């Protein structure tokens, strides 16, 4: 497992990658020591790169949540992959650990703060392609903004391609991924091809980790 | 009489004596089923890929695990016999789950359940079984630090870190059966079964998790072996 600490200098955003298991005791203990340097407020564990957690790892998360609370910090475990979220749900920890729940009262970094909405551009027709640009955050809380795109599929004709430009999208969670999959399924049934264009950063990584890039056609910008 | 199980020594050094029904195979012929040698991820993965059916780590012990490994091979299964140090250092669970997925044509869902259950069983075998560490330390940051210190000390203990963890995955009575065996002091499995994990607890979820992903979980040999069964996992 890898842990990096980032954010706006307050050491309140921890990014995890790999597996969180009984082998990660030392790395996690060192990370917990960093909590003493954080001012009270929200604390995020970004789990977008975590694909496996065992019961030892769950215990470490519960301990981190308790230790954060003692220091006036509110832990949010974000970008949790579906399999890991299911596991946490099995033990009734989704609420306790505020899994994938948007932060209330201020995010830990300016980056998160500025991207709490999903913006969908008007459709742009380019020959047989209809292009829609998404920007901001694609989450459970913002996915309703995408519904008109799904409903708009009925206006397309068989053989057309619907392109979603994702270059302006900074964050997507499992709900957003599910919505994209539903969009793809519905388009396929209608004989319409789909394409995800230009995902970058964490969005690109999430598409890879969720294997959505094996289902939908993804193009990258140079 | 069952055919001999051939073992290829991938390194150099002293070889333990083999039990009846096993033979060293110095040229790695087509009958070779087990690899023996120094353990790293590549060597283990090779041992779990056809035509091989397992890997036994060289450790300077008496080779008593060879007979058990041969039995798994004859049953058509996959087997790993590793030191505690290696089982701690490498993600052996993923390696054997991948090997089982290929060998038994498991679905991704079943392979995922197998990996999760084996992960818990291997963690228990290493931490609680062979290294004899209690979960009670893991209730606070200070306790976690102490736990880490003890873990490090015991992984440096040649006796404790040389204890073996044996992992086998094989067909059995229509199901896929995985076993993980350690050489620790064992534990009271009946007590464990009666006490689930506390909602806010930092430990105690491993058994619950194994039960949730395997169709049957049974402890044997005083808690030193856990048997995990996955019904309907094998293609007809």
Name which of A73-82, B38-47, B123-132 the model is least confident about: A73-82
The answer on pLDDT for A103 being more than 60 is: no
User: Residues of A127-146 as b/e, b for ≥16 C-beta within 10 angstroms?
Assistant: eeebbbbbbbbbbebbbebb
Query: Average pLDDT in the A139-162 region?
Result: 81
Mark out chain A residues that contact chain B at CB-CB < 8 A: 19, 21-23, 25-26, 28-29, 32-33, 52, 54-56, 58-60, 62-63, 66-67, 83, 87, 90-92, 96
Å from B203 to nearest chain A CA? Answer: 5
Which of the listed ranges A26-40, A172-186, B87-101 does the model predict with the highest average pLDDT? B87-101
Terminal Cα distance for chain A, rounded = 30
Overall size of chain A counted in residues:
222
Which of the four pLDDT bands, split at 50, 70 and 90, describes residue B68? very high
The answer on pLDDT for B214 being more than 90 is: yes
Å from A57 to nearest chain B CA? Answer: 9
The answer on pLDDT for A110 being more than 80 is: no
Which of the four pLDDT bands, split at 50, 70 and 90, describes residue A109? very low
Q: Cβ contact (<8 Å) for B199 and A83?
A: no
Which of the four pLDDT bands, split at 50, 70 and 90, describes residue B223? very high
Q: Cβ contact (<8 Å) for A63 and B138?
A: yes
Q: Give the CATH number of domain A2-112; options: 3.30.750.24, 3.90.1150.10, 1.20.1560.10, 3.40.50.450.
A: 3.30.750.24
The two domains A2-112 and A118-219 share their CATH topology (first three levels equal) = yes
pLDDT of residue B196: 59
Query: How many angstroms separate the CA atoms of A177 and A207, rounded?
Result: 7
Q: Report CA-CA distances (Å) from A152 to A119, A122, A158.
A: 16, 11, 13
Least CA distance to B92: which residue of chain A?
A23
Predicted interface score ipTM higher than 0.90: no
> Which of A6, A34, A121, A87 lies closest to B141, judged by CA?
A34
The answer on pLDDT for A39 being more than 80 is: no
Query: Average pLDDT in the A142-167 region?
Result: 84
**CATH superfamily to which A118-219 belongs:** STAS domain (3.30.750.24)
Q: What is the pLDDT of residues A173-206, one digit of tens each?
A: 877 888 898 889 889 988 999 999 999 888 888 8
The answer on pLDDT for B226 being more than 60 is: yes
pLDDT of residue B162: 93
Å from B150 to nearest chain A CA? Answer: 11
The answer on pLDDT for A116 being more than 70 is: no
Query: Average pLDDT in the B8-20 region?
Result: 87
Q: Cβ contact (<8 Å) for B120 and A62?
A: no
Which of the four pLDDT bands, split at 50, 70 and 90, describes residue B170? very high
Q: Cβ contact (<8 Å) for A25 and B147?
A: yes
Which of the four pLDDT bands, split at 50, 70 and 90, describes residue A10? low
> Which of B58, B61, B62 lies closest to B12, judged by CA?
B58
> Which of A187, A193, A185 lies closest to A152, judged by CA?
A187
Any idea where the domains of chain B sit in the sequence? 5-231
DSSP H helical segments within chain A, as ranges? Answer: 25-33, 55-70, 82-90, 110-113, 147-152, 174-189, 201-209
Name which of A206-210, B182-186, B223-227 the model is least confident about: A206-210
Output the average pLDDT for chain A. Answer: 82
Å from A105 to nearest chain B CA? Answer: 25
Any idea where the domains of chain A sit in the sequence? 2-112, 118-219
Least CA distance to B126: which residue of chain A?
A22
Output the average pLDDT for chain B. Answer: 89
Query: How many angstroms separate the CA atoms of A112 and A141, rounded?
Result: 14
CATH 2.60.40.10 fits B5-231, yes or no: no
Q: What is the pLDDT of residues A121-141, one digit of tens each?
A: 888 888 888 888 998 888 777
């Amino acid at each position: 497992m890898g842990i990096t600490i980032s954010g706006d200098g307050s050491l309140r955003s921890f990014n995890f990658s790999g597996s969180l298991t009984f082998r990660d005791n030392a790395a996690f203990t060192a990370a917990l020591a960093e909590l003493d340097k954080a001012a009270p407020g929200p604390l995020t564990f970004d789990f977008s790169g975590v694909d496996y957690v065992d019961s030892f790892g769950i215990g470490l998360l519960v301990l981190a949540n308790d230790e954060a609370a003692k220091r006036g910090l509110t832990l949010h475990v974000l970008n949790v992959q579906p399999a890991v979220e299911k596991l946490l749900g099995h033990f009734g920890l989704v609420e306790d650990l505020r899994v994938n729940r948007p932060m209330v009262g201020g995010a830990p970094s300016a980056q998160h703060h500025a991207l709490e909405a999903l913006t969908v551009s008007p459709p742009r027709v380019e020959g047989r392609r209809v292009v829609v640009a998404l920007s901001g955050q694609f989450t459970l809380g913002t996915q309703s903004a995408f519904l008109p795109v799904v409903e708009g599929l009925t206006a397309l004709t068989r053989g057309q391609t619907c392109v979603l430009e994702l270059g302006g999208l900074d964050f997507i969670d499992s709900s957003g991924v599910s919505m994209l999959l539903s969009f793809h399924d519905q388009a396929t049934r209608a004989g319409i091809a789909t394409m995800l264009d230009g995902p970058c950063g964490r969005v690109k990584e999430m598409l890879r980790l969720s294997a959505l890039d094996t289902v939908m056609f993804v193009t990258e910008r140079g | 009489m069952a055919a001999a199980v051939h073992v290829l020594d991938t390194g150099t050094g002293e070889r333990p004596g083999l039990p009846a029904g096993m033979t060293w195979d110095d040229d790695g012929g087509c009958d070779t089923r087990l690899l023996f040698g120094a353990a790293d991820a590549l060597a283990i993965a090779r041992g779990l890929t056809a035509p091989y059916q397992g890997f036994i780590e060289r450790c300077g012990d008496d080779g008593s695990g060879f007979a058990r490994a041969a039995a798994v091979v004859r049953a058509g299964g996959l087997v790993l016999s590793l030191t505690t140090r290696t089982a701690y250092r490498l993600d052996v669970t993923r390696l054997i789950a991948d090997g089982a997925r290929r060998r038994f044509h498991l679905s991704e869902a079943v392979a995922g359940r197998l990996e999760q259950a084996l992960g818990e069983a291997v963690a228990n075998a290493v931490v609680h079984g062979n290294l004899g560490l209690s979960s009670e330390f893991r209730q606070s940051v200070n306790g976690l630090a102490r736990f880490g210190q003890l873990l490090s000390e015991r992984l440096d203990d040649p006796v404790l870190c040389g204890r073996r963890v044996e992992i086998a995955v094989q067909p059995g009575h229509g199901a896929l059966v995985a076993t993980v065996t350690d050489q620790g002091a064992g534990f009271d499995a009946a007590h464990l079964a009666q006490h689930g994990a506390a909602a806010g607890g930092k430990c105690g979820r491993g058994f619950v998790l194994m039960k949730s992903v395997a169709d049957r979980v049974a402890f044997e040999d005083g808690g030193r072996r856990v048997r995990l069964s996955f019904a309907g996992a094998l293609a007809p």
